[in-house]
């Protein structure tokens, strides 16, 4: 059994016929969260189904990996010296608001947000 890292990996396997879901990407997301089984796609090659078959109960949804990762990012950001980081990326801070130029546009972060 091959374990997918994200819904897009599953989406790339699909035929894009949108069978049984509003879109194939919605199906891929549901399959990634184990709310659907990849074998439920009738257009999928049987060899692909065998290689990626989740096995077991599809209703036992696992915790999204993004939840844990997001918490790690929040913890890491909480310890960052924003003043030093802003100088490093040539941004500026005015009245506590950090402003960075991204793709030619200014983006700001207010304190406490």
Specify whether 37 is located in the same domain as 59.
yes
Averaged pLDDT for residues 20-24: 75
Over the stretch 55-101, which tens digit does the pLDDT of each residue have?
A: 444 334 445 567 788 888 888 888 888 788 888 888 888 887 888 88
Specify whether 24 is located in the same domain as 74.
yes
Integer Cα distance of 49 and 110 in angstroms: 48
Count: domains in the chain: 2
Specify whether 73 is located in the same domain as 97.
no
Specify whether 75 is located in the same domain as 94.
no
- Average pLDDT of the chain? 78
CATH for 40 = 1.10.15.40
DSSP 98: E
Can you give the residue range of the structural domain that contains 104? 81-113
Q: How many other C-beta atoms are found inside a 10 Å radius of the C-beta of residue 31?
A: 25
Specify whether 32 is located in the same domain as 3.
yes
Nearest to 30 by CA among 70, 73, 71, 59: 59
Specify whether 51 is located in the same domain as 1.
yes
Alpha-carbon 62 to chain mean position: 14
Specify whether 59 is located in the same domain as 34.
yes
Q: Specify the higher pLDDT residue, 4 or 59.
A: 4
Specify whether 52 is located in the same domain as 101.
no
Tokens (6 digits) for 2: 């091959």
């Amino acid at each position: 059994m091959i374990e997918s890292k994200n819904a897009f990996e599953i989406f790339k396997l699909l035929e894009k016929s949108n069978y049984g879901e509003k879109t194939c990407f919605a199906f891929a997301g549901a399959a990634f969260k184990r709310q659907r089984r990849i074998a439920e796609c009738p257009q999928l090659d049987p060899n692909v189904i065998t290689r990626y078959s989740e096995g077991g109960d599809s209703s036992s949804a696992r915790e999204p990996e993004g939840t844990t990762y997001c918490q790690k990012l929040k913890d890491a950001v909480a310890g960052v010296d924003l003043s030093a980081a802003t100088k490093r990326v040539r941004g500026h801070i005015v009245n506590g608001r950090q402003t960075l130029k991204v793709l030619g546009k200014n983006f700001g972060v207010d304190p406490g947000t």
